[in-house]
Amino acid sequence: MKKILFLGGLLLSAMTFVSCNGDYDDWADPQSNPQEEAVTLPGYTATAADPIDLANPGTSVKAFTLSAATLPEGATIEHTRVELLPADGSSATKKTLEATADGMLDSTALQDAVVEFYGRRPAARVFDAQVYSDIVIGGQSFLVDAGKIQISVTPKAPYIADAYYLVGDMCGWAADAAIKFSHSGADVYEDPVFSVVFTTPKADCYWKIVPQGNIDSGDLWHEGTDGVVGVAVDGDPSLTGSLVTTAPKAGKIEKQGFYKLTVNMMDYTYTIEEMAGEYYMVGDLQGWNNDPATGMTCLFYPQTSTVMSYTTKWKGAYDLKFWAGADFGNWDKAYGCAVDGDNSPAGNIVNSGAQSISAPSAEYYTFTIDMTTMKYTWTKLSDQAPKEYTSISLIGDFNSWNGDVDLTQVTPHNWYAKVSIPSDGGLKFRAGHDWADSWGNGANIADNYYGKADYNGGNMTVPAGTYSVYFNDITTEFVFLAE
């Protein structure tokens, strides 16, 4: 109170030297705000500036104007700041930003405040802003409340669609065959990362990316900030780089194979990783079924991007050949060995005149292929009497943890089903529609679509989609292959 009275006295003295026209008549009786230990001075107020767009802000932005002209002679504004709160009442924690006497705020600090309270989505956000200044008169500093204003701020952020699709040689450049990227389902401005796994059917496979809006409008090749995304140079074979929306060109993947494309749409970057190959066993155990519609039930389980394996009880004579996924059903492109019925414990893989490979004996083995060295090996299991299960099923959030979706045992201890997951959520494998034997590993299939599950392990998170699901109850290997 002494401080307030002293300020009133100083201002009253200042008026006798500055004016006799009554402009400062009310200043001798300032109002106080005990909670803030600040005073209000008639005529000293902040006025909000125009709405702020932080897309290209520069170092600082204009947030308000102070009526500094109403101060008496000799008074100076030494320090100004604003206390921000979301106008929607979503937070009671204030954010204090330093300001200049001209009402300028640091654009980076303001951007951080918007993101902290509202997130990164580039929509106009309104703050209640309380403005304070330290005013010095006669060597004495006083905290002055310049009032509350509302500041409208749009944060800096690129356009990010709710969903993206891969188009290119891998799907015929057609909207109805475009491959949808997986996403966590969070706000895309909080999680701007999308990924998709796909097969390139040939060498020099070209690609672009289209947003959901292009699919919805039927204008697949609409360009602009909200349109087609590509690379700057046509045929760029880089596996990492920047994405552009201005005159976007097609990127190129030089090798035929299986890949994961990950994009971060906050900074418009991409990464392409070669994934484990998609290879299917065809043989005596599955009736030599070469129909892609019904025969692709025996997928090799990936170990690395080029090493895959399959564990089961083999018959020991003319057991198998195998195909790359894109070639399934074409006998001219099948992989096998040079001599029909070769039952050696290891051998060379050929795909010209390929013959059937035989297991060394009619027992449990892991058959491993290395597509870099083009060799195969047989490893006999130490346990030749693994536990048998009458059923393996999936259960999870997608079916409210009720009503198991059964997989079919396609070869001894290998299970398969095509499953539709309507929404993101957790799930597990289990045996006998019971929890005595179950498998999970706590992982997110969006991060890696294959792996090993732990016995009675944690729930696995699976994004919405349709999957061909493969599971081996001996090795606990699994694959969720998205369509």
The answer to whether 452 touches 438, Cβ cutoff 8 Å, is no
Angle at 369 between CA 365 and CA 375, to 5 degrees: 110
Q: Where are the domains of the chain?
A: 2-154, 164-274, 279-380, 392-482
Closest to 175 measured CA to CA, from 132, 130, 221? 221
pLDDT of 4 reads 41
pLDDT, tens only, 398-451: 999 998 999 999 999 999 999 999 989 999 999 999 999 999 999 898 888 899
**DSSP code at position 18:** H
pLDDT of 58 reads 76
What are the start-end ranges of the E strands in 296-374? 301-302, 307-313, 320-324, 346-348, 364-370
The answer to whether 467 touches 418, Cβ cutoff 8 Å, is yes
Q: What CATH number labels 392-482? A: 2.60.40.3620
What are the start-end ranges of the E strands in 12-157? 31-33, 38-40, 46-48, 52-53, 60-62, 64-66, 76-86, 95-99, 104-106, 125-137, 140-154
CATH topology of domain 279-380: Immunoglobulin-like (2.60.40)
Across-strand partners of 164? Answer: 211
Percent composition of the chain: helix, strand, coil (DSSP 3-state, to 5): 10, 45, 45
Q: Number of helices and strands (H, E) in the chain?
A: 3, 37
pLDDT of 398 reads 93
User: Using only C-alpha atoms, what is the Rg of the chain?
Assistant: 34
CATH class, range 164-274: mainly beta
Torsion (CA) 414, 420, 426, 427 in degrees, nearest 10? -30
pLDDT of 26 reads 43
pLDDT of 305 reads 76
The gap from C-alpha 17 to its chain's centroid, in whole angstroms, comes to: 66
- Quote the pTM value: 0.55
pLDDT, tens only, 280-299: 999 999 999 999 999 999 99
Count of Cβ atoms closer than 10 Å to residue 12 Cβ: 15
Across-strand partners of 251? Answer: 207, 236
The answer as to CATH 2.60.40.3640 being correct for domain 2-154 is yes
Question: Which portions of the chain are predicted below pLDDT 50?
Answer: 1-36
| End-to-end Cα distance, the chain | 74
The answer to whether 84 touches 115, Cβ cutoff 8 Å, is no
